[in-house]
Structure 1
Amino acid sequence: MEPKGGQRASDGGYKNIIYTVEDGACIILLNRPQRKNAITMEMFAEIGSALIAAGKDPNVVIAVITGAGEYYSSGNDLANFMHGNIQELAASGQKTVQDMISAFIDFPKPLIAAVNGPAIGIAVTTLALCDVVYSSDKATFHTPFTSLGQSPEGCSSILFPRIMGQAKANEVLLFGRKMTAKEALERGFVAEVFPDSQFQTEVQKRIKEYAGLPKNSLRLSKELIRGLDRELLHQVNNKEFEVLAETSTSEECLQAIMNFFAKKSKL
C-alpha cells in the first residue's frame, strides 16, 4: 500500500506519514520504518489531522491506516518523555494524543486498519476504533501498559472487553499478554488474517472493492452502527486521560521508562 504512480498525494505538511488518495480510497501510511513507526508527538498530530482531512474530503469513500516496513507501529515513542521534565512533557502531550483519539472516534467514513506487522501500545488500542482490521500472520498485538507504569487508552478500557470478553481483555490490558494474529482473530479483534506474502495483495483487493461502494450508504450505515456510541467513547477517552495524567507522571512510570532505555542500551 505504498504510494504508486497515479495516486494523488498530498504532503499536507506531513513529515512522518504519507497521505494518498486514489479511486475513493485514502491511505494513511505511518512512515518511520527506521524507528518501527514509533509515534512522536508530531506524528500523533499528523495522524489526527490526516483523519480529519479524509473525513472532509468528498473524494474519499474509505480510509486505510497501515505501516511502512516490517512494523505496523511500535506505539508511543518513549523518547517523547526523555528530553525535559516528564511532568511537563506528559501534560503538554496529553491533549495532542487525546485529540488524535477523538479523530478516530469522530471519523465519519469506514476506517480500515491493515496491520502489516507487530503493533504495540496505542497502535493496538486504536485498532478497536477502526471498523475493520486485517492482519498479516506476522503481526502481534502487545499492550505493555502496566510494565511501563502506565494505563490503557484509545477507549480500550471499554472496547476490548466488548470485543473479546472481560477475562481476555484483562489478560491483555492488565497483564500485557501479547496476542498472535491467530489469537486476535479467534477473539474477534481482527476480521481476517492473511499469509504475509499475500497480505498486500489481499488487502488491496478489498480496498478497491469497498471504495467502489455507494459512499452515502456507507456513511449512513456507519452512523447507525457507531453513532450512538460516540458520546460514550468521548467520555471514556476523557476518563482514560485523567488516569494517564496520574500514571504517566508517577515515579514508578519514570523508573519503568528509565529501566526500558537501560535494557535497550545493553542490547
Structure 2
Amino acid sequence: CIWPHTFNFDLTLDNLLWMLDFVGKAKWDAWKSLGSVSQDARQQYVDLIDSLLAAEGPAVAAQPTGSAATFDTLLVSTEDNITTIRLNRPQKKNAITVEMYNEVIKALEQAGKDDSVITVITGSGDFYCSGNDLTNFTKIPEGGIEQMAKDAGELLREFVKAFIDFPKPLVAVVNGPAVGVSVTLLGLFEIVYATERATFHTPFSQLGQSPEGCSSYTFPKIMGNAKASEMLLFNKKLSAVQACAQGLVTEVFPDSSFQTEVATRLKAYAKLPRNSLALSKQLIRGTEKERLHTVNDQEVERLVERWLSDECMQAIMSFFQAKAKL
C-alpha cells in the first residue's frame, strides 16, 4: 500500500489512501486528534502535500469506451466467456481512487453472477497498478481522523471480502509494475500471469503500517515465512522472475508476446465447463474461506490502529519530506 504514483518513484502510497484526508484543505479540527504533533509540524505537512498535489494536477479518470457496463474508472467487458475488469486510469498509472475501490467491488459482484467462465483483472497502459491516488479522501468526515480511519477500514474490508468470496476462477494479468494492495491481493487469485518487466513491491513498514489483502496469511503459505517477511516486513521488491520462483506468479512471459500468449491460455480455459470450474474452486478455497475472512478482519483492525498512531504519522511525514528533496 504505498507511495504516490505521480513522481515515478515506483513506490505508491497505497495505505496512505486511508491517511491523506488530514492534509485536505488543512482542516485543523481533524488535526486536533493527532495530539502530540505540533502546529508547526502540521503546517509543514499540509504545505508539503499541497505542493505535491499541485504538481500532480487534477486526478481525472479516463472515460471507458465500449464497456458493457457503466464505470468511470474501469473498463468491464465480456467476450469469449471471459469477463475482463481493466483498471482504466493509465495517465495515473492506474492509481486507485475511492471511486475505483467501490467500482471494483461492484464489477466483481456483477462478474460473479454473469455467464462468463473466468474473470480477469488487468491494467490499462504500462502499469498494472501503482497503488492509491494521492487525492483520496479530500473531505474530512464530521468525526475527524478517527471516523476517517474507521470508514477507510470498512471500505478496505469490503474490497478484500469481494475477492475472498468471488465464486469463479480469478486471473490476474499483471501487465506492468504492481505496488501495495494490488500485490497483496494476488494470493487470492487462482492464476497470476506477468510480463517480464513487472515488479512487485509492498513497502508497508517504511510508512509505519502493516499488510492487508490477507497477505499476512497467504504470502507465508505461498513462499514461506522467510521470503514473505522480506517482502512484507523489509520492503523487498521482486522482479517478475523472482516472484514466479517464489510462487506468487504462475508464469512470466516476454513483454513482446505477453498479451498474445496470455490470451491463448485464457481462451482455452474459458472453454472448460463453467460449473465444474466454479465447484472445483469452492473445494480448493472453501476450506480456508472462513480463515481468510478472519485474517481480513484482523488486518483491517491493525491498520486502523496504525493509521491513528504517531509512529505512522511521523513515518509518512519523513517519507514525503525525503522524496520532496529528490
Instruction: State TM-score, norm by structure 1.
Output: 0.92
Question: Could you tell which deviates more after superposition, 220-229 or 78-87?
Answer: 78-87
Flag the structure with larger Rg: 2
1:34 is displaced (CA, Å) by 1.3
Asked if the contact 1:80–1:89 (Cα under 8 Å) also holds between the matched residues in 2, the reply is: no
SS of residue matched to 1:98: helix
Partner Cα distance (1:261, 1:34) in 2:
22
- SS of the residue corresponding to residue 136 of structure 2 reads helix
- Give yes or no for contact 1:152–1:173 (8 Å, CA) kept in 2: yes
Q: Which 10-residue stretch deviates more, 249-258 or 237-246?
A: 249-258
Tell me the equivalent position of 2:102.
45
2:172 is equivalent to residue 113 of structure 1:
yes
Contact 2:98 2:137 in 1 (8 A): no
Q: Distance in 2 between matches of 1:82 and 1:176?
A: 28
Spell out the pairing of 1:72-221 with structure 2 (5 A cutoff): 72-80=128-136, 84=140, 85-221=144-280
Q: 1:247 to 1:152 in 2, by over 3 A?
A: same
Q: Secondary structure at the match of 1:117?
A: coil
Identity %: 55
Q: Which digits, 9 at most, give the CA deviation of each residue in 1:71-126, with x for residues without a partner?
A: 10012234325664544332222111210100100001000000011100101000
Q: Tell me how many residue pairs correspond in the alignment.
A: 260
User: How does 1:231-250 map onto structure 2 within 5 Å?
Assistant: 231-250=290-309
Distance, in Å, in 2 between the alignment partners of 1:36 and 1:83 is 23
Counterpart selection for 2:113 from 44, 56, 67: 56
1:10 counterpart = 2:68: yes
Q: Does the Cα contact within 8 Å between 1:41 and 1:97 map onto a contact in 2? A: no
Counterpart contact for 2:156–2:300, Cα < 8 Å: no
1:45/1:97 contact within 8 Å kept:
no
Name the CA distance, whole Å, in 1 between partners of 2:310 and 2:184: 24
Q: How many angstroms apart in 2 are the aligned matches of 1:78 and 1:259?
A: 16
RMSD (CA atoms): 1.8
Report if aligned partners of 1:78, 1:257 keep a CA contact under 8 Å in 2: no
Offset from partner CA, 1:172-230 (integer Å, 9 cap, x none): 10011001111101101111000111111111111111111110110111011111111
Displacement over 6 Å in runs of 4+:
none
Amino acid at match of 2:132: N
Deviation at 1:259, TM superposition (A): 3.6
Q: Which runs of 5+ in 2 are unaligned?
A: 1-64
Shift of 1:44: 0.9
Q: What letter matches 2:136 in structure 1?
A: N
Instruction: Note the residue ranges of structure 1 that are not aligned, 5 or more in a row.
Output: none
**Corresponding position of 2:85:** 28
Aligned equivalents of 1:82 and 1:52: distance in 2?
Answer: 27
C-alpha separation between the residues in 2 aligned to 1:158 and 1:74? 23
